[in-house]
Amino acid sequence: MSTIATPPLARRDLDLVLSLTRELWDEARGQHIFITGGTGFFGCWLVESFCHINLELGLGAQATVLTRDPAKFRAKCPHLADDSAITLLAGDVCSFVSPEGEFRYIVHAATEAVVQPSAGEMLATTVEGTRQALEFARRCGAKRFLLTSSGAVYGRQPAEITHVPETYVPAPEAVDAVNAYSEGKRRAEMVCGEMTRGTEIEVAIARCWAFCGPHLALDAHFAIGNFIRDAIAGKTIAIGGDGTPRRSYLYAADLTVWLWTMLFRAPALVPINVGSAHDVSIRELAETVARVLAPESEIHVAKERVHGSPLARYVPSVQRARELLGLRETVGLEEQILRTAEWHGFARRAD
Domains of the chain plus CATH, in order, are 11-212+250-276+316-329 (3.40.50.720)
pLDDT for residue 221: 87
Is the pLDDT at 172 greater than 80? The verdict is no
| Exposure class string for 189-220: b at 16+ Cβ within 10 A, else e | bebbeebbeeeebbbbbbbbbbbbbbbbebee
Supply angle C-alpha 247, 249, 253, rounded to 5. 170
Which of 56, 38, 35 shows the shortest CA–CA distance to 104?
35
Using pLDDT thresholds of 50, 70 and 90, give the confidence band for residue 124: confident
Mean predicted confidence (pLDDT) in 88-101: 94
Cα three-residue angle 31-141-135, rounded to 5 degrees: 125
Mean pLDDT of the chain: 93
pLDDT-based confidence at 351, cuts 50/70/90?
A: low
Beta strands 250-251 and 271-274 are unpaired
Tell me the average pLDDT across 202-210.
98
Q: C-alpha 82: how far from its chain's center?
A: 24
Which of the residue ranges 48-52, 110-114, 224-228 would you say has the lowest mean pLDDT?
Answer: 110-114
CB count in 10 Å sphere of residue 86: 21
Question: Given a cut of 70, is residue 174 above it in pLDDT?
Answer: no
Calpha distance 83→179 (Å, rounded): 38
